Structure 1
Amino acid sequence: MNLNDIFEKIDSNHERYVQELVELLSIPSVSTYSHHKGDVQRAGEWIAAMCQRLGLDARLYPTDGHPVILASHCPHADRPTLLIYGHYDVQPPEPVDEWVTPPFSPTVRDGFVYARGASDDKGQVFTYLKAIEALMAVRGELPINVKLLVEGEEEIGSPHLGAFLGQHKKLLQADAIAISDGAQFAPDVPAITYGLRGLAYMQLDVTGPRVDLHSGSFGGLVMNPIQALSTILCSLKTDGDRVAIDGFYDQVVDLAQWERKAMAELPLDVDQLQEYLGVEDLYGEDGYSPLERKTARPTLDINGVWGGFAGEGAKTVIPSKAGAKVSMRLVPNQDPDRIAELFRAHVAKVCPAGVQVKVTHLHSAKPVLVSRDLAQVQAAARAIRTGFGKDPVFIREGGSIPIVNLFKEELGLEAILLLGWGRPDDGAHSPNERFSLEDFRKGIRSAVALFHELAGEQP
């Protein structure tokens, strides 16, 4: 099927699409801040209204947190149904003083739109709305049934989405799900992600004396909580960047030889990566390449440490408390709950006498692998070739998307299409987040092609 008429419609309306995206990006829908609750609601209402203008049956569903948008257009009894997932909430913009332009005053420069949420995920989910709009305007109908689920709590772990999926299973039944909340492998190297690492995120709280103590008067009498915490944290790794927790690697499924070969053929520029990261050398587990370590090997990282005095000048104090946050990225078949218990047992074993330590399992996600041989995955590959003008590479991603497991477990979906239109250097979660306007256009074209590929109408 020839899609040129639809692509011409997309190109002729590109400037308007960008202005509409700018309007959405201007809403500071930061889900983690209570003072932005009204803004999150407003962003949800904005997208629901857009869906209704496109002719979709759209509704904003309240939850115990922020609302969920469910929209659908399912005119075909004998054609497949695609569920499209995205989120309209965003990360906090801090540190605000590192933004070149204000995070919620979207600015277009050098072919990018800069704003919090530009790439993660407002810009990417918006590509599907514009694809639907272009198709309906030119053809008057969609080639498949489409459902959209757009939530407002992804950036805080989607705490109410599981219950929502359980309550609305019938409404959400589909043959495949498309999630565009990620990135290409590199600029102009489109990708399909077939693997995600899981996550076990832990907090350590170490308590010693009942109050902060004068280090001159009491030094040498009590175990310093910071010293104890340092002992615990240093025990978590061995030389060669191996995790030292007993049993940590027991369930790990190592990379197959074909995967290692495929990863070695991907165009990773190590020097360019080091320059982007601002480091002189890369570091990680012995025996694995940087890309393998980054995407397909389990890791443990200390994400934050606190305790004692860190202000200007000196304060001779033995702190009463200290703490840290630790994340562990997991691979098939590691179970987050089991890993959390192994972590807890390790901490109890190495914790010095004289302090108490509390270990809290804050949240988790299971690792994911999607078969590259699924018909829907191959359809997505053809769609990306149409939209981006080149074949996608298949990659595994080092991050976690907890909702993917929710869709597998609650809705029984196996055809999970992880199609990132963004770029690795878009700065998601960082100052000066951006989204390429050319990738925005190509994402819309790819979504149009995907609808036709899933319908069996190859362009």
Structure 2
Amino acid sequence: MTLENTLSRIDTDLDAALERLKTFLAIPSISTDPAYKPDCDRAADWLVANLQEIGIDAQKRPTPGQPMVTAHVDGPEDAPHLLFYGHYDVQPVDPLELWTQPPFEPIIADGPNGRIIQARGASDDKGQLMTFVEACRAWKAEHGTLPFRITFFFEGEEESGSPSLVPFMEEHADELRADLALICDTGMVAPGVPSIASQLRGMLKDEFTLIGPARDLHSGHYGGPGLNPLREMAHIIASFHDPETGAVAVEGFYEGVEDISDELRRQWEGCGFDEKDYLGAAGYSVAHGEKAYSTLEQQWARPTLEINGLWGGYQGAGTKTVIPSEAHCKLTCRLVGDMDPDALRLKIRKHVEDRLPADCTVRWDQSLDGSKASVMDVTRPEFERARTALTDEWEREAVFTGMGGSIPIAGFFKSILGMDSMLIGFANEDDSIHSPNEKYDVESFHRGIRSWARIMDKLSG
């Protein structure tokens, strides 16, 4: 049997695949709300039955929260062993009144760029998860077996913090460990531009309070000679960045950061990303970060220090002539490369403490944590084979991209199982994930299935 047979079967079976997806989407598997616990169980049962229907021995595995779904498929002894991850839980649907149709009554409709399937979970992540399952269905129908060993691993708590994920992975590490993890929970950098996310930024969180006078003071009595923590906080916040270059001015902040390669920069420059649209959608006219780097480089490959909350003193209506006793700040850093969140936290705290004037002290929140960035080894042959497969399907050069945010599961695969991850998704920016009227383009679903079949063919060769 040839790859063309499998692709032809995918094309012929598209309407049936869409009906299966609609059945899956109709299950309101909202993991964060205990009222939907039975529906999460039902979604897991549906996945088990769907895999068993195509001859894959799947199981529903209990956890203290929502169940996991696992399955293992044997393959040739010299073939690679791949793990495929997705999640079957979805976000809540509020505000319900903004939906144009009930969120768990999926419809196929005309969208601005072709047909769409609209329902909660269509893009995040049921539609994406099913692209791989449907590729396996078509491959098995044509070949009788799958081309390599596959472990399916589907969780039901991704949208509610994955509290059961790490304990389950640690307990079953030997069962889950494979040569490479495949994750389909990402998107394309621009419509029709296939993308493999190869680096995800990490995170550092911190919070501090500046303490000045022993109590709030009358500004008429102490205004002038009295230290004002809000004013001192403003000085410190302003000192975090160089006003000329936009770079973070904390000493040692960029330790572990490297510039991207010329080849990666070439891919990003030609990937179809529209900076004007991207900035304009948020109400910006120009980029405001590090002046030496493009918008995509700032978003994907550069670290940041952001102030997320700043408060103190009187917050009510009218005026209260007060010098507050305290001022408060919440901050986060997005990390790249080999930046160490624990070492960086110490550098940021030193930066603050070195700038404290007399009669001002600082109190740090000791409960916050951080995680390193995930950087994939794209020199592994699987990555270039997958990129070639995507390029063949979409007739457009596939690109290695970064992600400004984080996908924790990729970090867990690395830290717990010692596995690299390949993140390939077919969502578009306008899919409205987590929002009313979530949708997934039928083209994304169809060509996503075909893409996975091509990738399976390339990785098995």
Q: TM-score, normalised by structure 1?
A: 0.85
TM-superposed deviation, 1:449: 1.9
Matched-pair contact (CA < 8 Å) for 1:228–1:355 = no
Q: 1:100 to 1:304 in 2, by over 3 A?
A: farther
> What aligned pairs does 1:16-415 form with structure 2 within 5 A after superposition?
16-96=16-96, 98-109=98-109, 110=111, 111-204=115-208, 233-239=237-243, 240-304=245-309, 314=318, 316=320, 325-350=330-355, 357-360=363-366, 362-414=368-420
> What aligned pairs does 1:437-448 form with structure 2 within 5 A after superposition?
437-448=442-453
TM-superposed deviation, 1:427: 3.1
Q: Indicate the structure (1 or 2) with the bigger Cα radius of gyration.
A: 2
Please give the alpha-carbon distance, in whole angstroms, between the structure 1 residues aligned to 2:101 and 2:218: 46
Please give the alpha-carbon distance, in whole angstroms, between the structure 2 residues aligned to 1:231 and 1:225: 10
Please give the alpha-carbon distance, in whole angstroms, between the structure 2 residues aligned to 1:226 and 1:238: 21
Please give the alpha-carbon distance, in whole angstroms, between the structure 1 residues aligned to 2:77 and 2:424: 26
Matched-pair contact (CA < 8 Å) for 2:217–2:325 = no
Percent identity between matched residues is 37
Deviations 1:34-53 (A, max 9, x none): 45444444433332332233
Please give the alpha-carbon distance, in whole angstroms, between the structure 2 residues aligned to 1:53 and 1:310: 60
**Equivalent position amino acid for 1:192 in 2:** I
1:420 equivalenced with 2:428 (yes/no)? no
**Equivalent position amino acid for 1:196 in 2:** L
Please give the alpha-carbon distance, in whole angstroms, between the structure 1 residues aligned to 2:133 and 2:409: 21
Please give the alpha-carbon distance, in whole angstroms, between the structure 2 residues aligned to 1:325 and 1:95: 28
TM-superposed deviation, 1:105: 4.2
Deviations 1:343-395 (A, max 9, x none): 34444455675676332564433222223332211221232234334331222
Please give the alpha-carbon distance, in whole angstroms, between the structure 1 residues aligned to 2:218 and 2:137: 68
TM-superposed deviation, 1:204: 4.5
- Please, which moves more after superposition, 263-272 or 215-224? 215-224
Q: SS of 2:175's equivalent?
A: coil
- Please, which moves more after superposition, 40-49 or 220-229? 220-229
Deviations 1:18-57 (A, max 9, x none): 2332333344434344454444444333323322333222
1:453 equivalenced with 2:458 (yes/no)? yes
Please give the alpha-carbon distance, in whole angstroms, between the structure 2 residues aligned to 1:67 and 1:205: 41
Please give the alpha-carbon distance, in whole angstroms, between the structure 2 residues aligned to 1:177 and 1:79: 15
Q: SS of 2:174's equivalent?
A: coil
Q: TM-score, normalised by structure 2?
A: 0.84
Q: 1:341 to 1:151 in 2, by over 3 A?
A: farther
Matched-pair contact (CA < 8 Å) for 2:179–2:419 = yes
Cα RMSD over matched residues?
3.4
Q: 1:259 to 1:132 in 2, by over 3 A?
A: closer
TM-superposed deviation, 1:208: 8.4
TM-superposed deviation, 1:76: 3.2
Q: 1:129 to 1:207 in 2, by over 3 A?
A: farther
Matched-pair contact (CA < 8 Å) for 2:135–2:450 = yes
Please give the alpha-carbon distance, in whole angstroms, between the structure 2 residues aligned to 1:411 and 1:161: 13
TM-superposed deviation, 1:207: 7.8
**Equivalent position amino acid for 1:382 in 2:** T
Please give the alpha-carbon distance, in whole angstroms, between the structure 1 residues aligned to 2:313 and 2:106: 40
**Equivalent position amino acid for 2:17 in 1:** Y
Matched-pair contact (CA < 8 Å) for 1:365–1:400 = no
TM-superposed deviation, 1:80: 2.0
Deviations 1:105-145 (A, max 9, x none): 43433222233332222211111111122222333221222
Deviations 1:311-356 (A, max 9, x none): 8x55859788875543211111101222233334444455675676
Q: SS of 1:118's equivalent?
A: coil
TM-superposed deviation, 1:69: 1.7
Q: SS of 2:151's equivalent?
A: strand
- Please, which moves more after superposition, 20-29 or 177-186? 20-29
Q: SS of 2:126's equivalent?
A: helix
Q: 1:84 to 1:272 in 2, by over 3 A?
A: same
Deviations 1:56-104 (A, max 9, x none): 2222223333332211221433322211011223344455555444544
Gaps of 5+ in 1: none
Q: SS of 2:431's equivalent?
A: coil
- Please, which moves more after superposition, 81-90 or 318-327? 318-327
Please give the alpha-carbon distance, in whole angstroms, between the structure 2 residues aligned to 1:91 and 1:167: 27
TM-superposed deviation, 1:183: 1.1
Please give the alpha-carbon distance, in whole angstroms, between the structure 2 residues aligned to 1:397 and 1:190: 14
- Please, which moves more after superposition, 424-433 or 332-341? 424-433
- Please, which moves more after superposition, 234-243 or 400-409? 234-243
Please give the alpha-carbon distance, in whole angstroms, between the structure 2 residues aligned to 1:453 and 1:108: 32
**Equivalent position amino acid for 1:286 in 2:** K
Count of aligned pairs: 453
- Please, which moves more after superposition, 43-52 or 215-224? 215-224
Please give the alpha-carbon distance, in whole angstroms, between the structure 1 residues aligned to 2:213 and 2:26: 48
Matched-pair contact (CA < 8 Å) for 2:230–2:312 = yes
Matched-pair contact (CA < 8 Å) for 1:235–1:350 = no
Gaps of 5+ in 2: none
TM-superposed deviation, 1:440: 0.6
Please give the alpha-carbon distance, in whole angstroms, between the structure 1 residues aligned to 2:219 and 2:26: 54
TM-superposed deviation, 1:186: 0.6
Q: SS of 1:177's equivalent?
A: strand
